[in-house]
Amino acid sequence: MPLSLPAKLASMRICLLLAWALPALAQSTREMNDINWMEFREFVPSKIKTVLLPTGTLEAHGVANNGADNTAPLAIARKLGPELNALIAPSVNYGITGSLGAYAGSMSISEKAYRAYMHDILDGLAQQGFKNIIVINGHGGPQTAVLNDLTEQIGRERQVRSLVVNWWAYCSDITLKVFGEDGGHAGWNESAFIQAIDRKLVHPERYSDSLATARPSAGSWSAYPFPSSIILYQPGQGYVKFDQAKADQYFAAVVEKTGKLIKETIEKWDKAGIFLK
């Protein structure tokens, strides 16, 4: 039976809606976890050449979550994905935890195992066709050295461009600017960063300045486990103060500066014609 005019119009509207909704659906996420292989094949490498890989660890962080080193880089990647036209690889949430390894809920992977595992992840991203592999790292110490080594190695072997950003170190000038003082591991800066992402992950009611210890000057003393999970970079600076406005300002400025570094680095690689096929 032929459709009546209103029914025809209704079905046309449905078709139009579908045509409008489908491409939007296909681009509804940039997370590798959440797209299917057909979408991936469509995007990489013809439309998307950059992948953001968040890396961190599980370790005690004062009154912030043990996964703060994972929460931070993932939030940065999610903010920057669209403007960098990047996909976001699943985070690597287990890392090489050092002097805080004995605190409740902290986990550590041996350097040997971490190196082998990260090698295969980075190599896999290169094999999938990404040209720019950007590691947004949330945890320092030997982990940074391993990531630096591996990205260089994969870069040479697979002819890909790679960048490792340790966000808190790269943005230490922003810490000074926003808070008027230096920060620390799980100090005001890092706790504020988490507070800006999700205030439920930070617990002011559990905080006291006595939870913090200043980092020893080189060669002065060393302890395992470190006596506090809040480790101030400078004595007397970086005690957590839970200021939401400053936290939000810090988060925005860190994301902006990190995004600028990634964008400019890719532009410079492009201009230099490096590994362009």
Binding interface with Zn ion (CB under 5 A): 68-69
Contacts of 178 (CB under 8 A, 6+ apart): 189, 192, 246, 249, 250, 253
Sequential DSSP letters for 96-156: ---TTTTSTT-----HHHHHHHHHHHHHHHHHTT-SEEEEEE---THHHHHHHHHHHHHHH
Question: What is the smallest separation between the CB atom of 154 and Zn ion, expressed in angstroms?
Answer: 25
Question: What is the smallest separation between the CB atom of 64 and Zn ion, expressed in angstroms?
Answer: 8
Beta carbon nearer to Zn ion, 106 or 162: 106
Question: What is the smallest separation between the CB atom of 187 and Zn ion, expressed in angstroms?
Answer: 9
Question: What is the smallest separation between the CB atom of 168 and Zn ion, expressed in angstroms?
Answer: 7
Question: What is the smallest separation between the CB atom of 182 and Zn ion, expressed in angstroms?
Answer: 15
Beta carbon nearer to Zn ion, 126 or 174: 174
Q: Using omega within 30 degrees of 0 as the cis cutoff, is the peptide bond preceding 225 cis?
A: yes
Beta carbon nearer to Zn ion, 50 or 143: 143
Beta carbon nearer to Zn ion, 51 or 68: 68
Beta carbon nearer to Zn ion, 68 or 197: 68
Question: What is the smallest separation between the CB atom of 191 and Zn ion, expressed in angstroms?
Answer: 9
* Whether 51 contacts 163, CB under 8 Å: no
Stated as kind and residue range, the H or E segment containing 184 is: strand 184-185
Contacts of 18 (CB under 8 A, 6+ apart): none
Structure tokens at 114: 């971490």
Beta carbon nearer to Zn ion, 68 or 212: 68
* Whether 136 contacts 254, CB under 8 Å: no
* Whether 150 contacts 115, CB under 8 Å: yes
